Amino acid sequence: MTDYDLSKTIIPYLDRHLSFPLLAHLLEISIFPDQDVQTAQYELAKGTNMFDYAVQLFTQIYPDQPVPLEFDVKRTNAVSTHERLQQEAQAVLDVIENPDVAQALRQDKNQNLQYLKDNYNLTLEQITALYNFGQFQYSYGNYSGAADYLYHFRVLSTDNDLNTSAHWGKLASDILTGKWDIALEELNTLRDVIDSRAPAPLLAPSSAATSAATPEPALAQLHSRTWLVHWSLFVYFNHPQGRTLLLETFLAPTYLNTIQTSSPWILRYLAAAAILSRKTTTTSTSTSTPLSSRVRNAIREVVKVIQTEEYQYQDPVTSFLKELYIEFDFEAAQRELALAEEVVANDFFLNEFREEFLDNARYLISEAYCRIHQKIDIADLSERLNLSRDEGEKWIVNLIRETRMGADAKIDLEKNVIEINRPALPIYQTVIEKTRGLALRTQALGAAVGRTGQQGQGQTPKVAENQAPVVTVN
């Protein structure tokens, strides 16, 4: 199972603190030797200000060795730094928390700054103290405190680089405190920041890997996006709406490119999310929130990407989709599904969704199976789904009921087969299908042309003309 473990690939793209949950998970599923994982944890903790945790880990790993003295020294240092920074930050906080000030603050940051400076003698340097203190708190594990300070800092500061850095810090803090709603919000703003600014500075807080910042803006943006993709996994796989949002984000051209260029292993999560979102796509058609087409066609898109990137990356989850939708080899798909189940169960992000994944994957198999076959042996299908015969029957009945296939599919218990009669789509249906979007698209076109002025006016009437007879056909 260790072959398919992605922790090692992902950790370099995470913050030090974000890696702890991953390592803890590895310790739980124990596919690696405990000793190794603990050592890794210790090495990580050493670089932070979480001395107690580090010491604890140290005693676990080397029970018979005395705790190194340096920790004590560092601790006293840290405590004094803490006090100093707190004092600095407190000065600012006192001002900001004053209700008068809170009311006087406006949208314009420069104006705010001026106001604070005039009335309370607060300078930018002092505000930066908020940032420093926030960062320090983060480094010893007080994430909620860090989030607060960084938030305040961001409201006031005008320094772009530090602001982005604060964004990252806040996101990490939110993730680590488990406030998924806030984290999601933070994630979205951060994404906007990265997308909007071409030369996005590559400044994730307190991480070593970022030091290799390059002057090229495009490259820096790619780096930022790669990081964002990895960090967002925490949010997307914990937030209730996360999977859908993940598809929405990752299938956007820019992020798809990022994944294909710099981190193809993310395809596993993309594929998993696509499979997981099956239920939502089928059930939510009745609910009020319409899903974007991107999510609806997620599977198809993901399959295409998997196919093109096959040479770079494959694991059971992606090969499952490949076997099912490219090769149409149901046996192989079944095999891959069994493997994929295990992979999912062991994956830090996906393990919560094991049941759901399996359920949806089975559904996908049977859907494809039913569409291609006319007469299906229940026993055979059950086998395809890794289910016993009775279970299989129950499952199939549920499936038929759920998906309103009832009209087409009948179970013949005597012969133990399902018969599917799929009448061919009437021709007018296809014509309607084809012409459905035309009116709206033309409208949009017209609006766009109108906006640009006279240039392309010849186009719209032509389309409208041509469309008229089509509509009548409907």
Partner 1 sequence: MSRFFRQAGDSDSDSSESESELMTSGDEEAPSKLTAPAPKPAMSRFLRTAGSDSSDSESEESTDTDSEAGPEGDGDETDDEGERPGVRIMSAQEKRLKEMEATGKVMDNALKINDWVAISTEFDKLVRMIQRQHNVSEPIPPFYVRTLVNLESSVNNALAKEKESKKKMNATNAKALTAMKQKIKRAIKEYETDVKKYLEDPEAFNREYVALVSREPIAPAAPGSRGVTATTGDDTAVEEFTTVGKGGRGVQFTSEGIFKNLQAVQEARGKKNTDRAEQIRILEKLLEVAVTPYQRIRVLLALISSRFDYNSSVSTHMPTELWLAAQREVDQLVSIIASDSNFSIQEVTEDYDELIERSASTERGVVHVRGSIISFIDRLDDEFTRSLQNIDPHGTEYVDRLKDEKVLYCTICRAQAFYEKTNQNDPLGRVIMRRLEHIYSKPNAVVQALEAAVDDSDVKPSMTLVAQGGTAALVHGLCVHLYKAGNSLLRTRAMLSHIYHHALHNDFHTARDMLLMSHLQESIHSADVATQILYNRTVVQLGLCAFRSGLIKEAQATLQDIFTTQRVKELLAQGVHQQRFQVLTPEQEKAEKQRQLPFHMHINTELLEAAFLVSSMLIEIPLLASIDSEELKRKAISKPFRRLLDFADRQVFTGPPESTRDHIMQASKALQDGEWGTCRDLIQSIKIWSLMPEAAAVKEMLAKRIQEQGLRTYLFTYAPHYSTLSLSLLSRTFSLPLRTVSSIVSKMIWNEELSASLDQSGGIVLFHRIDLSRPQQLAQVIAEKAAAMVDQNEKALDVKMGGTGGWGERTDGSKGEKRGEQTQERRGRGERTRGARGGSRGGRGTRFSQGLGNQMPGQLTQRAS
Residue from 147, 424, 457, 461 that binds partner 1 (CB under 8 A)? 424
The minimum distance between CB 300 and partner 1, in angstroms, equals 7
- Rounded CA separation 343/275 (Å): 14
Q: 């984000």: which residue's tokens?
A: 249
DSSP H or E segment with residue 412:
strand 409-412
How far apart are alpha carbons 58 and 24 in whole angstroms?
15
* Closest CB to partner 1 among residues 77, 261: 261
- Judge residue 407's burial from the number of C-beta atoms within 10 Å of its C-beta, 0-12 exposed, 13-18 middle, 19 or more buried: exposed
Site for partner 1 in 76-135 (CB under 8 A): none
Residues 130-189 touching partner 1, rule: CB under 8 A, are none
Nearer to partner 1, 80 or 257 (CB): 257
Q: What are phi and psi of 411, to 5 degrees?
A: -95, 125
Query: Does 473 engage in binding with partner 1 (CB under 8 A)?
Result: yes
Rounded alpha-carbon distances, angstroms, from residue 369 to 301, 383, 399, 435: 20, 12, 12, 29
Least separation in angstroms between residue 430's CB and partner 1 is 7
The Cα 330–Cα 139 span in angstroms is 50
Residue from the set 111, 119, 257, 285 that interacts with partner 1 by CB under 8 A: 257
Span from 25-33, 55-63, 91-99, 368-376 in contact with partner 1 (CB under 8 A): 368-376
Of the candidates 422, 429, 457, 461, which one interacts with partner 1 according to CB under 8 A?
A: 422
In the block, tokens 């920041």 appear at 193
Distance set, CA 103 to CA 98, 130, 148, 158, 183 (Å): 9, 20, 19, 19, 26
Q: Contact region for partner 1 (CB under 8 A) — 115-123, 147-155, 322-330, 355-363?
A: 322-330
Q: In this chain, which of 372, 388, 394, 398 binds partner 1, going by CB under 8 A?
A: 372
Cα–Cα distance for residue pair 231/190, rounded to 1 Å: 11
What is the distance between the alpha carbons of residues 282 and 85, in angstroms, rounded to a whole number? 53
Q: How many residues bind partner 1 (CB under 8 A)?
A: 71
Is residue 32 within 8 A of residue 2, CB to CB? The reply is yes
As measured in angstroms, the least distance from the Cβ of 115 to partner 1 is 37
In angstroms, give the least distance from the CB of 75 to partner 1: 45
Instruction: Give the list of residues 6+ apart from residue 335 with CB closer than 8 angstroms, or none.
Output: 323
Min dist CB 273 to partner 1, Å, is: 15
Label each residue of 235-297 as H, E or C: HHCCCCCHHHHHHHHHCCHHHHHHHHHHCHHHHHHHHHHHHHHHHHHHHCCCCCCCCCHHHHC
| Residue 279 sits in the site that holds partner 1 (CB under 8 A) | no
CB of 215 to partner 1, least distance (A): 13
Shortest separation between residue 456's beta carbon and partner 1, angstroms: 6
- The single residue among 83, 216, 329, 402 that binds partner 1, judged by CB under 8 A, is 329
**Amino acid at the residue 372:** I
Residue choice 15, 301, 347, 393 for contact with partner 1 (CB under 8 A): 301
DSSP state of 326: I
Task: Of 282, 181, 175, 278, give the one whose Cα is nearest residue 228.
Answer: 175
Q: Which long-range contacts (CB under 8 A, 24 or more apart) does 99-106 make?
A: 105/155
Query: By C-beta, is 413 or 447 nearer to partner 1?
Result: 447
Say how far residue 351 (Cα) sits from the centre of its chain.
15
Contact flag: residue 437 with partner 1 (CB under 8 A): yes
**C-beta of 31 vs 449, nearer to partner 1:** 449
Decide: is 389 part of the binding site for partner 1 (CB under 8 A): no
Q: With binding defined as CB under 8 A, does residue 69 bind partner 1?
A: no
- Residue 216 in contact with partner 1, rule: CB under 8 A: no
The window from 22-30, 163-171, 181-189, 370-378 that contacts partner 1 (CB under 8 A) reads 370-378
Residues 443-472 that bind partner 1 (CB under 8 A): 443-445, 447-449, 451-452, 455-456, 459, 462-463, 466-467, 469-470
- Applying CB under 8 A, among 112, 126, 258, 346 the residue interacting with partner 1 is 258
Nearer to partner 1, 282 or 467 (CB): 467
Stretch that binds partner 1, among 232-240, 270-278, 385-393, 436-444 (CB under 8 A): 436-444
- Is there binding between residue 376 and partner 1 (CB under 8 A)? yes
